[in-house]
Amino acid sequence: MTTNRKSIAVILSGSGNQDGSEIHEATLTLWAIHKNNADYQCYAPDILQHHVINHLTGKAMDEKRNVLIESARIARGNVIDLARFNPQDHDALVIPGGLGAAKNLSTFAFDGAECCVNKDVEAAILKMAEANKAIGALCISPVILAKVLNNPLLTTGQNADVIEKIHAMHARHESTMQAEIVIDKEQKLVTTPCYMLDARVDQIADGADKLIQAILAL
């Protein structure tokens, strides 16, 4: 029996909010995808993390970790090298937040508006945009869309410094509160601030759920 369930690609950036994907945001994104009768496939670039952070102390550790291998912790092993991404396999693309988006998927945490985006991340976004397919981004990850796409409308919450950098990348920003979303109908983008604001886990779930519902409706 065939089904009409849509497939959403999810790009992870490691495991842990200070040096990889924010685990609540990533997990609740996957939950929202299944809750809304769609399926997902996780991807991550096969690269070293910028650094490894001890999440108990907040200090950098003298070790190296691989983004793809660390992302497998969240994906329960079912994660594919982003270099193999094919836009024909999916109906939409979503990037959860966490500082891995700004340290591993891009250099926004260090270079701001002058940041670079990982080539496989950029290629996946551009291929989906060219195919007129929806893209979602949570927390800090919308800054990647600001860098890669042309004048997108998005949100990262209310952080003035981040908003200034987004404007410097020639993107438009709309301030939001917890669990709110912003939709760029023209470019089929949906963004939500998550932990860019002081948020509870249930608010993260609400934001992820609204984002996935909006993506599936575009």
Active-site amino acid positions: 139
The three-state secondary structure class of 47 is: coil
**Cβ-count burial of 198 within 10 angstroms (0-12 exposed, 13-18 middle, 19+ buried)?**
exposed
The angle that helices 23-35 and 67-75 make with each other, rounded to 10 degrees, is 50
Residues with Cβ within 8 Å of 112's Cβ and at least 6 positions away in sequence, in order, are: 165, 168
C-alpha distance from residue 214 to each of 36, 107, 127 (Å): 10, 28, 20
Give the rounded distance of the alpha carbon of 193 from its chain centre. 11
Q: How far apart are CA 114 and CA 91, in angstroms?
A: 30
Tell me 14's DSSP state: -
Amino acid at 69: I
Q: How far apart are CA 85 and CA 69, in angstroms?
A: 17
DSSP H helices, the chain, are: 23-35, 67-75, 100-103, 108-111, 119-130, 142-148, 160-168, 201-217
